[in-house]
Structure 1
Amino acid sequence: MKKYISAILLAGFLGVTSCDSHFEELNTDPNRAGANVFDPNLILPIAANGYGNMISGYSGAILFQSMWIQALASTSTGGANYYSNADKYVISGSTNSYIANVWNNGYSVASRIQQMQKLAKTKEMNNLVAVGGIFKVLTISFISDIYGDVPYSEALKADEGITQPKYDSQSAAYIAMLTELETSLTALSPTGDAIKNDVIYKGDIAKWRRFGYSLMLKLAMRLSKKDAAAARTWVQKAVAGGVFASPADDALVPGDEGNGYSNSSANALNVPDDIYEVRWSKKMIDYLKSTNDPRLSIVAEVPNPGLAANRNGSPGNSNPAVQIGLPNGFDLRGGQFDISKHPDFPGGTGSGNDLAPIGAYSRPTGIYRDRNAPVFVLTYAEVQLLLAEAAARGWTTGSASDFYRNGVTGAFTSMAKFGGRTVSASDATAYLTANPLNTSSLDASLKMINEQIWATTSLFANFVESWNNWKRSGHPVLTPVNFPGNFSSGQIPRRQPFPNGETSLNADALKSAVARMGGDDWITRIWWDGGN
């Protein structure tokens, strides 16, 4: 990835953001290449890296959604008190900054993509324009799923004089995004311009097409409880277009620690306080244990005894029998919420100054601390599980049970992409034999499918996707934490408030959006949110 992004730096692109009106004024000096020389393909990898950073690590996923969704847990005391945002819905010192991360980073990525498309159009690079359209929808739909109504139809048009874009209603934005996605996919051509410097699919147009239709499927399923007719229509378009065919189609943003492009979640989980305080939740470990899930020994370990061993990341005990999940909503402050007061508290490990009070609880294994690990954007496993739900609802042909089986098998296979072990074929077969899809009723099928989506996306560290699908489906059933002083009235947050900066930068448009949505707090539901 380094050579691609370094080329952008040499070209002077980083000094050009949302407007291209001065490109013609640049010299043709190779270090300040003008629009007639600059290859817009060079923008794609830096946008991909930016997107990967936005959906992972401290940009929000670990600090908010990972624990809202009860995949991870933390006592959030000591050096890592910022996890109080997630585990207990309590403000920390930088919460307002965290709130704005996805907004700022997302529109920065979208702006780069817009610039790439504009330059590509001048060079008749129609495939690159189409890939840009897919990527722009991916990015702005992610922003919308977190905040609700967002600028879309007037966004990224500062060079056209629109510096205070209106916020589109999410209902309108979603249909517009699906339409733009369809237009972009139609424009892709195997005989068109080659996509170069592509860190996701290496220029494979067929894979970009399958990714686009898989994204269409995911966005269509978001509408399942708000506009079932539209959801069905778009699901059928996605299936007809051709979604992911195998785990080889997984969309991943690669990590590259040696060249400065580390996995952001791994960066967070290598901080000594985070290594110690971030644990798998009781909800997650209990779920994996209840079905003898073979991923448990790959993803979870009990650290070696003592505080030093808990903080240095040395390999622990991955025996499934010893794994214990940390309940959400507890601390180490000695009061009624101290974890030692929990009836199932297993006791600490070590002693004296080397005592680790939460040392017996399971933490993520070393694969989650690998800075070269990829960021999982969208996987074959998730797509097959969504198809299982669509089939159960009668929106597509095929067997819901077969799609479910494919999804679970794909999830097991893709675990190896972190760089660790995969699940053996025999273990996968045994799991699916013991845990077939429950087809006794639609509700039973939806529960099992969406619990599997929750586990699978969480184990891929795609916590925001896990949270979004929980909002949509209502599965798994989660018990909220009601910690003193929480910012969400004792409810699991369902959105992030708009960034404070919008109040001064785009006040009138923001005010209209808030009025339309019915509020701007952590529990105001976005348009498609009808899960529970």
Structure 2
Amino acid sequence: MKKRLIALTLLVGSLQVACTDKFDQINTDPTRASSATFDPNLLLPSIQYNHVSSITGYNGSILFQSMWVQLFASTTSGAANYYSNGDKYVQSSNTTDYQQRTWSGSYNAASYAYEMEKLATDKPALANLKNIAVIMQVLSLATITDVYGDIPYTQALQGKAGVTLPAYDTQESIYKSLLTRLETATAALNTAAAGPTNDAYVYKGDVAKWKKFGYSLMLKLAMRLVKSDAATAKTYAEKAAAAGVFTSLSDDAYLLADNANGYSNGNGSALITPADVYQVRWSKTFIDFLKSTNDPRLSKVAEVPAAGLAANQLMTGGVSDASVQVGLPNGYDLNGGATDISKSPGYPGATGTGADVTPIGKYSRPAFIYRSQSMPFFVLTYAETELLLAEAATRGFSVSGTAATHYKNAVSAGIQMLSRFGAAATIDAATADAYATANPLGTANPLKQINEQYWATEGTVLNFVEAWNNWKRSGFPVLTPVNYTGNFSNGAIPRRQPYPTSEATLNTDSYKSAVGKLTGGDTWASRIWWDK
């Protein structure tokens, strides 16, 4: 995935020096790069991989957001009890570890991006790389504040300058700064100049693609603010649309994982774990949504395992026929009590016999297309952008095109982009377009329809944190919370992750100041600033 610096070993024999005027040269380690010689392009893959990794797999999203927004579900028994964090909002033994991983991973990405920016500064040949470094900082820091709320920002990334206990900034001030920095950096990208030479995204250094990426990111961040700061949302959404956002599937920003070289996709890693193979199912909410309109994605993303416990523990052998798919309702277990899955309304029954029986055998699980550790990480897509433009148009923002046209484009694109998972997931353009035409944007409640489609589209590419953030922002789909005994959010769907426990012990004053501004304190149910 990324180029490596090769360390050179220098064997030095016995050397006597009485006096020299070349002391600095002799005492300079030739195996170490300096800021003058190090190519900052080498940092870009680490930035890109650390960012997507921080919101994938066991770093949080598959254990939390995937089930909070009822895309996945689990009866969370046996070895896979860590899914209680998501399905039932019940703490597992490692919850405090899981909850800080997005924070750590995305700050790591932002730190690399900050260093890349500094190394590229005052080097005209690296001007585009410098601006891409800013864009990646915006992407990473926006991820952190969307998950946690107020965070260190102005004083963040300043460890080399001696700032080890940074103050927290308000999310409102962070967002305004992020949008300003993003606008400046994206506008400064020069398509006539050299692009990055070590780009892990599929753009491979195409500056024109990066420019569209910057403006599409601006649109997404602007739309986060429609309820908290409508004027700023409108201003920046219109700026982004006018400047040039994604216009086709070829603009999708994604990164192909490289498991062979140690850069795996965390969702794939989780979904090949034996306990997860058995326990992770699609939620009833999600499957019912796809079935309600005969969505062609259903037979590509879901399968019912062959009958029996042993078959349910195998990754292969599922039936993909859309007619047999059944979603698992969230909030049930295998404990034999009132919340046992067999007591759920519409329970379809077990499969297998005798010792080979399983109570969850008829419920749909993620299809085999999701069981690769080298499958793509989706960062930002054309389908997302078109849905956001559809909403902007619905809200009366000045963007070209109608809400209905943007919605149709988005639905077709969301179906076609499954092809990134390989031939088995591919749905041809004609089928996608026909479905989009047959299921147009209605007039009764377009915001509901747009954002339900956003949720489903993010779900099919396992982009769970984005599905959750957009659910918080929009309120759609309307979800019924799970209120399982012993849950950590008082029966409410979690709306943020608490800060890492190390913040309370190591950065105490700043942490206390931030928590004091949270209505309800540092809890899972407290709302961040833009979540109205």
TM-score (norm 2): 0.94
Shift of 1:326: 0.1
Match of 1:403 in 2: 406
Shift of 1:111: 0.8
Q: Distance in 1 between matches of 2:412 and 2:477?
A: 20
Name whichever of 347-356 and 367-376 sits farther off. 347-356
Match of 2:213 in 1: 211
Q: How does 1:6-21 map to 2 (within 5 A)?
A: 6-7=4-5, 10=7
Asked whether the equivalents of residues 412 and 435 of structure 2 are also in contact (C-alpha less than 8 Å), the reply is no
Name whichever of 399-408 and 424-433 sits farther off. 424-433
Q: How does 1:314-393 map to 2 (within 5 A)?
A: 314-393=316-395
Q: Distance in 2 between matches of 1:159 and 1:227?
A: 35
Which AA in structure 2 matches 1:110?
A
Asked whether the equivalents of residues 301 and 425 of structure 2 are also in contact (C-alpha less than 8 Å), the reply is no
Match of 1:498 in 2: 499
Q: Distance in 2 between matches of 1:362 and 1:10?
A: 50
Partner deviation per Cα, 1:165-214 (whole Å, 9 max, x = no partner): 11110011000000110111122112333311101110000001100100
Shift of 1:118: 1.1
Q: How does 1:79-228 map to 2 (within 5 A)?
A: 79-124=79-124, 125-200=126-201, 201-228=203-230
Residue 205 and residue 25 in structure 1: after superposition, are their counterparts in 2 closer, same or farther (change >3 A)? farther
Match of 1:421 in 2: 425
Match of 1:43 in 2: 43
Q: Distance in 1 between matches of 2:74 and 2:200?
A: 34
Residue 187 and residue 28 in structure 1: after superposition, are their counterparts in 2 closer, same or farther (change >3 A)? farther
1:439 counterpart (427, 443, 451): 443
Match of 1:299 in 2: 301
Q: Distance in 2 between matches of 1:319 and 1:335?
A: 32
Asked whether the equivalents of residues 43 and 116 of structure 1 are also in contact (C-alpha less than 8 Å), the reply is yes
The answer to whether the aligner puts 1:479 opposite 2:483 as a matched pair is no
Which AA in structure 2 matches 1:467?
W
Q: Distance in 2 between matches of 1:317 and 1:465?
A: 29
Shift of 1:232: 0.3
Q: Distance in 2 between matches of 1:449 and 1:322?
A: 27
Asked whether the equivalents of residues 308 and 352 of structure 2 are also in contact (C-alpha less than 8 Å), the reply is yes
1:377 partner SS: strand
Shift of 1:370: 1.4
Match of 1:15 in 2: none
Residue 322 and residue 27 in structure 1: after superposition, are their counterparts in 2 closer, same or farther (change >3 A)? farther
Residue 286 and residue 28 in structure 1: after superposition, are their counterparts in 2 closer, same or farther (change >3 A)? same
2:58 partner SS: helix
2:97 partner SS: helix
Residue identity (%): 54
Unpaired runs of 5+ residues, structure 1, are 13-23
Q: Distance in 1 between matches of 2:80 and 2:479?
A: 24
Partner deviation per Cα, 1:148-174 (whole Å, 9 max, x = no partner): 001111110122222211111001100
2:425 partner SS: coil
Which AA in structure 1 matches 2:370?
Y
Asked whether the equivalents of residues 302 and 316 of structure 1 are also in contact (C-alpha less than 8 Å), the reply is yes
Which AA in structure 2 matches 1:49?
Y
Asked whether the equivalents of residues 271 and 371 of structure 2 are also in contact (C-alpha less than 8 Å), the reply is yes
Match of 2:13 in 1: none
Name whichever of 304-313 and 55-64 sits farther off. 304-313
Which AA in structure 1 matches 2:129?
L
Q: Distance in 2 between matches of 1:306 and 1:225?
A: 49
Asked whether the equivalents of residues 382 and 453 of structure 1 are also in contact (C-alpha less than 8 Å), the reply is yes
The answer to whether the aligner puts 1:451 opposite 2:458 as a matched pair is no
Q: Distance in 2 between matches of 1:159 and 1:191?
A: 34
Partner deviation per Cα, 1:7-29 (whole Å, 9 max, x = no partner): 3x7599xxxxxxxxxxx999462
Asked whether the equivalents of residues 418 and 461 of structure 2 are also in contact (C-alpha less than 8 Å), the reply is yes
1:324 partner SS: coil
Partner deviation per Cα, 1:485-516 (whole Å, 9 max, x = no partner): 00000000000011110012211111111112
Q: Distance in 1 between matches of 2:133 and 2:374?
A: 26
Which AA in structure 2 matches 1:501?
S
1:334 partner SS: coil
2:378 partner SS: strand
1:517 partner SS: coil
Q: Distance in 1 between matches of 2:345 and 2:448?
A: 29
Residue 10 and residue 138 in structure 1: after superposition, are their counterparts in 2 closer, same or farther (change >3 A)? farther
Shift of 1:41: 0.2
Q: Distance in 2 between matches of 1:428 and 1:37?
A: 50
Asked whether the equivalents of residues 28 and 34 of structure 1 are also in contact (C-alpha less than 8 Å), the reply is no
Which AA in structure 1 matches 2:405?
D
Match of 1:272 in 2: 274
Name whichever of 114-123 and 83-92 sits farther off. 114-123
Unpaired runs of 5+ residues, structure 2, are 10-24
Asked whether the equivalents of residues 148 and 528 of structure 2 are also in contact (C-alpha less than 8 Å), the reply is yes
Asked whether the equivalents of residues 85 and 95 of structure 1 are also in contact (C-alpha less than 8 Å), the reply is yes
Normalized per residue, which structure has more helix?
A: 1
Q: Distance in 2 between matches of 1:512 and 1:25?
A: 51
Q: Distance in 2 between matches of 1:289 and 1:403?
A: 23
Shift of 1:457: 0.6
Shift of 1:372: 1.5
- What do you get for the CA RMSD once the two structures are aligned? 1.6
Match of 1:520 in 2: 522
Q: Distance in 1 between matches of 2:429 and 2:236?
A: 34
